[in-house]
Structure formats: C-alpha cells, structure tokens
Chain A
Amino acid sequence: MEAFFSAAILCDQLINGLTIGGIYALIALGYTLVYGILFMINFAHGEIFMFGSFAGYAALTFLLQYGFTEQRPLASILAAFLAAMVVSALLGTILERIAYRPLRRASRLAPLISAIGASIFLQNVMLIIIKGRMQVYPDLLHETFFEIGWFNISNFQIMIILGSFFLMAGLYIFIQRTRTGRAMRAVAEDRSAAALMGIDVNRIIMITFVIGSALAAAAGVMVGMYYTQINHMMGFIPGIKAFTAAVLGGIGNVPGAMLGGLFLGLAEAFGVLFMPAQYKDVIAFALLVLVLIFRPRGILGEVVSEKV
C-alpha cells in the first residue's frame, strides 16, 4: 500500500484532480447561474457543452484545411474557443427563448421536463449531423510534459487549469464589479423588485444564459483537446457530474460552483487511491449525499446568503 501514497503519486493525482475539477467547475457555473435566477435546473446544459465542443472542432478543422493552424497554432486555438463560445451562447439564448421562457409562469416541473426534452433533442440533432461517428480533435499542441519537482504536468493540463481559473476569476469580477453583474445579483435576489427598479429582467436572464453557455463551451473545447474524441453523448456524464458539483457547492452560489467542481475532481482523483476505480462515481454521489445531510444547502449555501 505504501507505494500508493508516495509524494509523486499524490502530486500526479493533484494535477489530475485539478484538471478534471476545473472542467466540472466551468460547467457547474452554468447550472448555478441559471438556477440562481430562474430556480430551474437547465438539464440541457450538458448538450450546450457538447455543441460548444463541436463548434470548436468545426473551427479547428476549417482552419486546418487552410493551413492556418500550422503557422499560428495559438491563434487557431483562440479562434476555436471563440467560435465555440459564440455558438453555445446562441444556442443557450435560443433554448431560453423557445424552451423556457414560455414556461416561466408554469409550475416548476414544466421547465424541468422541457429541459430534459431539449437535451434529448439536441443529442439527436448532433447524432444526425455526425452520423453517430466519433469525431477526433486535430492535435495542434502536441502534448508535452514538464517535470517540476515532484509534479509531472503536460501543456494541456496547464492550459485547462489556468484557463478555467482565468475564466472563473473573470466571471467573479464581472458579477461583483460591473453594472450588469450587479443587475444579475439583483434579479437573483428578487426578480419583481429588480423589475420595479427598472432592470430589464428578460435581458438579464438572456445574459445569464449567454455567460453560462459560453463557459460550458470553453470547457467543451478543453475536453475536446484534452481527450481528443467527441461524440453526441459526451455531454451526459460531465453534465451530471457538474450538476453534482453545483449542488455540492450550494446551487445558485457562484463561488460554490467553482469550489464544488474542484472539490469533486480532487475527491475522484484521490478517492481512487483508497478504493477500486469502479467506485469513482460512487465517491461523487456519496459525497453529495453526505453534504446534503449535514449542509442541505451545500458547502457555501449558507455562508453567502445572496445568490448568483
């Protein structure tokens, strides 16, 4: 057993955990932002993530055809992120407009079912587009490893960890410091009072979907580049895990979703050291049950009273 706990293994698992945790956190933010404002779980969020990944893939293959990726790999990657975020943001807005807004005054169950329907619909749209075949991300940045002390980290892992922290920090500043961010917090706290204060609630809800979807799209491109293969079902498991992360952290709470995602990623990585890998998913959901028993509103659910 000692071999399992050597410092090098622990460091490796720390990197593994932070990488997957960062991805969970980015997706979890979309759940939590929408829940904070609409009190609904957007179960089609995993599919928005999937569409983002495919949009990035389309952009990269397009650039590859014209040889642009050879000359400017970094610019191409940025273009892929941008394309993905735009497509997903559009998709999120359309979804909000046709699947959720008409049901905003209906019982809380109705938009939930609508979301599940949208999720199945989007999966099958992509199935038809790609004819059920796995698509492979072009390998632009050849994965290389760096040895830093006990850490053995690849350029992809650095990109994902830094990228997700950068996006999360950006979101936090946006919500705390900008006028729109303040309006988002106001709508989350009391929608009708915010409307009375002259805030355009529909616009804020739209912006929320745009931001949440764009973050999921970024995660989608990261997943595509890191794991290389994408298919129409790729949104399902990350979607469920990220939802778990959002609830772990306290759904509706932005720092909570970030914390929940990283916590879940690390718990999965380290948990595997102590028990057979078959139980990796059990770890995630057992943690969820435990947290909900002792802190029904999630880890940060009560510390910060305001949502968003």
Chain B
Amino acid sequence: MPRRSLPTLLSAAILFVFLSLPAAAAEWGTIRIPSGSPVKIGMGTMLTGDYAGMGIDIMHGAEMAVKEKGLILGHPVILQVEDDGCAGPPSVVIAEKFCNDPLIAGVVGYMCSGGSKPASDIHNKYKMVMISPSSTALELTSRKIPIFFRTCWNDRIQAQRAADFAASRGWLRAAVLHDKSDYGQSLAEDFAQHLETRGGEVLAMEGVTRGDKDFSPVLTKIKPLRPQLVYFGGMSAEGVLVVRQMQRVGIRAKFLSDDGCFTEKDFIQAGGRAATGSFVTYAQEPDPAWVAHFESMYGPRQTFSPQAYDAATILLMAVESAAERQPDDSLLIDKRRLRDALAATDHEGVTGRIVFDTNGDRTGSVVAVYEVVEEGGKRFFRKVPF
C-alpha cells in the first residue's frame, strides 16, 4: 500500500465532507412537476387474484377522491394504479417504480401488511410518502419510518378490542383460528394473549390455508372442546366458510372475527343464514351520505374504500399545501414539507377525524363491534353498543 502524505489525506477528507454536504441537504429532495404535466398519485392494491374484490374496492375509493379533486394548482391529478398482489415481491417492484417516477408525489397503498412492510423501506430510501388504507400489522408503525401513515387501525387495537368484547359477554372459553398470514396470525395471537389476561382460556390455536374451502376436519377436532367462542383471524373468503361449517359440524359457539370479514356480499350473503349472529370488528361506520354517493358510482362497497378515499384526500391536501407554483407554471414539491404537511393532518374524513400520532397511526380511531342481524328478511351489520 503506497503511503499517502497527510495533506493529501486531509484534502481528500475535506473534499469528501464538501461533496457529501449537498447530498445531506438534498437527502429528502424535491419533486418537480413540469408545466403541463399531471401530478400523479401512485396506488398499490390487489387487482387480480384472491382478494381482487377488496383491492378493486380500495381502488374505487381512491379514484373517487382523485376525480373529485381534479386539479392541483392548475395541474391535473391522475391516479396510477398497479397490482401489488397483496404480497411483498410485487409490492417492492411497484415501490421502486413509483419512487423513480418523477411525476408521482405520493402513494396510497399498499393493500396488505406483507406488501407495505418491505415497500415502506424503499419509500423511506427515496423519502416518498405512503398512506396505506388497509395494512393493519402492528409493526408497520413501530419501525420509526417517517414517511409511513395509515388511515386504518392497527391489529393490536383491533384484537384487544375483540378480546375485551368477548370477555364482557362472558365468552371466556375460546378456540382461535387464523389463516397463517401476517395479518390473521398476529390478530389471533394478540387476541388469545389479551383474552388470557382477561381471565379467558384459549382451548385451541389452529391455522388454516388461504384459498382452502374445507375446514370441517379442523372444526370437527375443535367440537369436543366445547368452546363458547370461535375467533377467526383472517379474510372473509375463509371466515364465511368457517361460520357455515361450524354449523355443519355442530359447533354451537359464537363467532367473532375481524375487519377482513366486514363485507356485505362476501360475508353476509355468502354466509346465508349461518352468518346471522356473527360478530366482526371494524372501524366506526363511514359517513352514510358518502356511502350512498360511492355506491351510486361503483355499486356495493366492501371494506376499505372509505379508508382509501380518506387516504387519497389527505394526500392531495398535503400535496396542495406543500407544492410551490413556479413562474413557469411548474410545481416544486419539497418532500420534507410534504411529509410534514401530512403528519400535521387534522381533517374530518368520511371515516371520522384524521389526526396522526408520531408513528403514523391514527389517534383515537376506535374499533367498533358489529353483529350480523336479520330483520324483515334482510341481513346486515349492526353496530353493537360496547
């Protein structure tokens, strides 16, 4: 190794510091929308595959908000939707694509926690804000990622609320099922843990496979344990089959599940009479006037469209307040200012008041419990006073 003189090293060091200075200042950087170009909002959601129905519902929510906004400081707003497959690998690819698109100001997405988590690392690298309408995994907001926000709740709040509800009704002997996904399993485990602290007893903890249709073997196994309650952490496709098949194998327990099962068509209709009397946890009811307007455009809503609508709305508001119109009509958006504007959101949305805590979780977003009731030949979700 050739020896280097001190001055050379010193000047190299100075040069290094000097070079890295502008880099540090530009760490967050700016987005420049040239005049005549649209401001784009990225969206990652599932468009094909098992939960495409839920993903398309999310897309419609965001689409509605973008259409209503129309223009930001003279620039048209467009929504660019990509299929995130509700999973890590496609979400990461889309995140790279969005973060390297000079016209995208921010992203609404991704749909599933398994996709949002790896995607948020990429977003953090490029400092591009993202608001997930539907990723509820606890860890997403506990990783100190400044650009991550969500308009839904986190799973622990939801699971604890469910356990509190079960305990308040005296259903202490519970069998717990989940769909082995990040989402379902963490809900089930948090539920079980919290129920035990409330004096409950978890008789069984079993996993089922997403996409499977026959759960009677595992339910037949649970039956002799005589649970008072079956808790299911997972989506409606499997949840509704669990409800129906509980009746088939003769389990006379109550059924309690999560927001994945809060869908009129996939849970209540598909469940038929068996769905009556089931309980699910979900957000407070969205604004009924908004729901009526949404359904007149896109048909029956499913689960997360109000959250997606709110996410897109507050993102557009933040973009509008952070963007600076230049003399040549182009827009300059400072990424740091955009993030801060989003973090400072205080907006009355269709899902209630939206204020974020320092981690990007909503404050005061209370999870409510709904029961499937049957009245006058119609079945629907009704909020349970709790």
Give which listed residue, A6, A145, A272, contacts B218 with CB less than 8 A. A272
* B179 nearest in chain A by CB position: A278
B214: nearest residue on chain A (CB-CB)? A20
Q: Is the CB of B52 within 8 A of A132?
A: yes
Smallest Cβ-Cβ distance to A2: which chain B residue: B224
Find chain B residues with CB under 8 A from A227 CB. 213-214, 241, 244
CB distance from B232 to the nearest CB of A (A): 12
Most buried by B among A13, A145, A272: A272
| Closest Cβ–Cβ distance, residue A265 to chain B (whole Å) | 9
In the complex, what's the smallest C-beta–C-beta distance from B163 to chain A, in angstroms?
Answer: 22
Query: Contact between A16 and B216 (Cβ–Cβ < 8 Å)?
Result: yes
In the complex, B208 has a CB within 8 A of chain A: yes
Pairwise interchain contact A276-B240, C-beta atoms closer than 8 A: no
What is the chain B residue whose CB lies nearest that of A4? B221
Chain B residue, CB-CB nearest to A10: B220
Q: Please give me the residue from chain A that is nearest to B207 by CB atom.
A: A278
Q: Is the CB of A136 within 8 A of B265?
A: yes
B337 within 8 A of A: no
Closest approach, in angstroms, between the C-beta of A148 and any C-beta of chain B?
15
Residues of A within 8 A of B237 (CB): 134, 229, 231
Bound form: Cα–Cα A281–B210 in Å: 11
The answer, yes or no, to whether A228 is at the interface (CB within 8 Å) is: yes
If A231-B237, A237-B211, A280-B209 touch, does A139 touch B272 (CB 8 Å cutoff)? yes
**Interface set, chain A 211-266, CB cutoff 8 A to B:** 223, 227-229, 231-234, 236-238
What is the CA–CA distance of A233 and B237 in the complex, to the nearest angstrom?
Answer: 11
For B212, give its contact among A19, A132, A237 (CB under 8 Å): A237
Chain A nearest CB from B227 CB (Å) reads: 13
Would you call B285 an interface residue if the criterion is a C-beta within 8 Å of the partner chain's C-beta atoms?
Answer: no
Please indicate the chain B residues that have their CB under 8 angstroms from the CB of A231 in the complex. Answer: 50, 53, 237
Question: Given A13-B217, A154-B248, A228-B244, do A136 and B269 touch, yes or no (CB 8 Å)?
Answer: yes
Chain A's closest residue to B52 (CB) is: A132
- Would A272 and B213 be within 8 Å (CB), given that A136-B265, A152-B250, A233-B49 are in contact? no
In the complex, whether B223 has a CB less than 8 A from a CB of chain A is yes
Interface string of A286-307 (1 = CB under 8 A from B): 0000000000000000000000
Interface string of A39-83 (1 = CB under 8 A from B): 000000000000000000000000000000000000000000000
Contact in complex: A16, B220 (CB < 8 Å): yes
Contact between chains at A127 and B48 (CB < 8 Å): yes
B206 in contact (CB, < 8 A): yes
Task: Give the residues in chain A near B216, CB-CB below 8 Å.
Answer: 12, 16, 269
Give per-residue flags for B256-288: 1 if the beta carbon is below 8 A from chain A beta carbons, else 0: 000000000110011010000000000000000
State whether the Cβ of A3 lies closer than 8 Å to any Cβ in chain B. yes
Interface size on A, residues (CB 8 A): 45
- For the complex, is B78 an interface residue (Cβ under 8 Å from A)? no
Let me know if A3 and B213 touch, CB within 8 A.
no
Chain A residues lying within 8 Å of B55, measured Cβ to Cβ, are 132
Kindly report which residue of chain A lies nearest to residue B213, judged by CB atoms: A227
- The reply to whether A3 and B217 form a contact with Cβ atoms under 8 Å apart is no
Cβ of A203 < 8 Å from any Cβ of B?
A: no
Name B185-234 residues within 8 Å CB distance of A.
206-209, 211-218, 220-221, 223-225
Q: Which residues of B contact A9 (CB under 8 A)?
A: 220-221, 223-224
Chain A residue at minimum C-beta to C-beta distance from B222:
A277
Q: Is B265's CB under 8 angstroms from A280's CB? A: no
Interface membership of B379, Cβ < 8 A: no
- Is A133 part of the contact surface with B, judged by Cβ < 8 Å? yes
CA distance A5 to B258 in the complex (A): 32
Q: Does B105 contact A (CB under 8 A)?
A: no
Flag if B213 contacts A223 (CB, 8 Å): yes
A234 touches B213 (CB 8 A): yes
Inter-chain contacts of A145 with B (CB < 8 A):
248
Q: Check if B249 is an interface residue, CB within 8 A of chain A.
A: yes
Smallest CB separation, B81 vs chain A (Å): 13
CB contacts (< 8 Å) of B212 on chain A: these are 237, 280-281
Q: A269 contacts which chain B residues (CB < 8 A)?
A: 216-217, 220
- Given contacts A6-B224, A9-B223, whether A133 and B265 have CB atoms under 8 Å apart is yes
Task: Give CA–CA (A134, B220) in the complex, Å.
Answer: 26
CB–CB B270/A280 < 8 A = no
Most chain B beta-carbon neighbours within 10 Å: one of A19, A223, A228: A228
Find out whether the CB atom of A4 lies under 8 angstroms from the CB atom of B224. yes
Residue among B47, B207, B218 having the largest count of chain A Cβ atoms under 10 Å: B218
Which residues of B sit under 8 angstroms from A124, Cβ to Cβ?
A: 48
Chain A residues close to B by CB (< 8 Å): 3-4, 6, 9, 12-13, 16-17, 19-20, 123-124, 127, 131-134, 136, 139, 143, 145, 152, 154, 223, 227-229, 231-234, 236-238, 268-273, 276-278, 280-281
User: Other than the known A9-B221, A134-B236, A269-B217, what 14 A-B pairs have Cβ atoms closer than 8 Å?
Assistant: A4-B224, A6-B224, A12-B223, A17-B217, A20-B214, A127-B48, A132-B52, A223-B213, A233-B50, A268-B214, A271-B217, A278-B206, A280-B217, A281-B209
The 7 lowest CB-CB distance pairs between A and B, nearest first, are: A132-B52, A278-B207, A277-B218, A272-B217, A229-B270, A277-B206, A132-B53
B interface residues (Cβ-Cβ under 8 A, vs A)? 47-50, 52-53, 55-56, 177, 180, 206-209, 211-218, 220-221, 223-225, 236-237, 240-241, 244, 248-250, 265-266, 269-270, 272
Q: Would you list 15 pairs from A and B whose C-beta atoms are within 8 A, ordered by A residue?
A: A12-B249, A127-B48, A132-B47, A132-B53, A134-B236, A139-B272, A228-B244, A229-B270, A231-B50, A268-B217, A277-B217, A277-B221, A278-B180, A280-B208, A280-B209
